[in-house]
């Protein structure tokens, strides 16, 4: 099975200029724990999670008189290299990458790096729990 077969194609994302409050509202509204962050050109620059937003280090980005909720995400989070996969990669490879990097979601991009989907550990768990899948079918899944 390929990533293309299991990934979510409708991806909730934020812009780097979105405020912390806007991102928190997106996470709550869509009941998700993290989302990709895009720059003004629509290119993927990072991923932000609820955990990132609750990290005490965020307070170090405040200047006097600023509200944490109004700070743009691009000022709060220093985005590291984003772990991505291609839609043609196998589910087993995706699961291995998530386990290796200890992440719960991986962004799916096409050959030129455009965001086209997202795959989460929840997607893989649902696959493993489905009636028509056995450990024999996918022995290397998380």
Within-domain flag for 140: no
pLDDT for 75 beyond 90: no
Within-domain flag for 16: yes
- Number of domain units in the chain: 1
SS3 state at 7: coil
Within-domain flag for 138: no
Within-domain flag for 9: yes
Q: 15-24, 89-98, 132-141: lowest mean pLDDT where? A: 132-141
Task: Describe the strand order of the beta sheet including 84-86 as a list of residue ranges.
Answer: 84-86, 105-109, 115-120
Within-domain flag for 139: no
Buried b (16+ CB within 10 A) or exposed e, 22-40: bbeebbeeeebebbbbbee
Within-domain flag for 35: yes
pLDDT for 66 beyond 50: yes
Q: Which domain holds residue 96?
A: 3-129
pLDDT for 119 beyond 90: yes
Within-domain flag for 105: yes
**What CATH code is carried by the domain that includes residue 46?**
3.10.580.10
């Amino acid at each position: 099975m390929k990533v293309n077969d299991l990934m979510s194609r409708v991806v909730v994302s934020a812009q780097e200029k979105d405020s912390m409050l806007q991102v928190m509202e997106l996470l709550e509204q869509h009941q998700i724990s993290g989302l990709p962050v895009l720059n003004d050109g629509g290119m993927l620059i990072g991923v932000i999670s609820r955990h990132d937003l609750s990290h005490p280090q965020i307070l170090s980005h405040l200047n006097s008189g600023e509200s944490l909720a109004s700070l743009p995400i691009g000022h709060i989070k220093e985005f590291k290299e984003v772990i991505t996969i291609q839609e043609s990669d196998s589910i087993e490879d995706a699961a291995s990458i998530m386990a290796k990097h200890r992440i719960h979601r991986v962004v799916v991009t096409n050959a030129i790096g455009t965001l086209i989907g997202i795959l989460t550990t929840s997607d893989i768990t649902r696959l493993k729990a489905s009636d028509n899948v056995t450990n024999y079918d996918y022995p290397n899944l998380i």
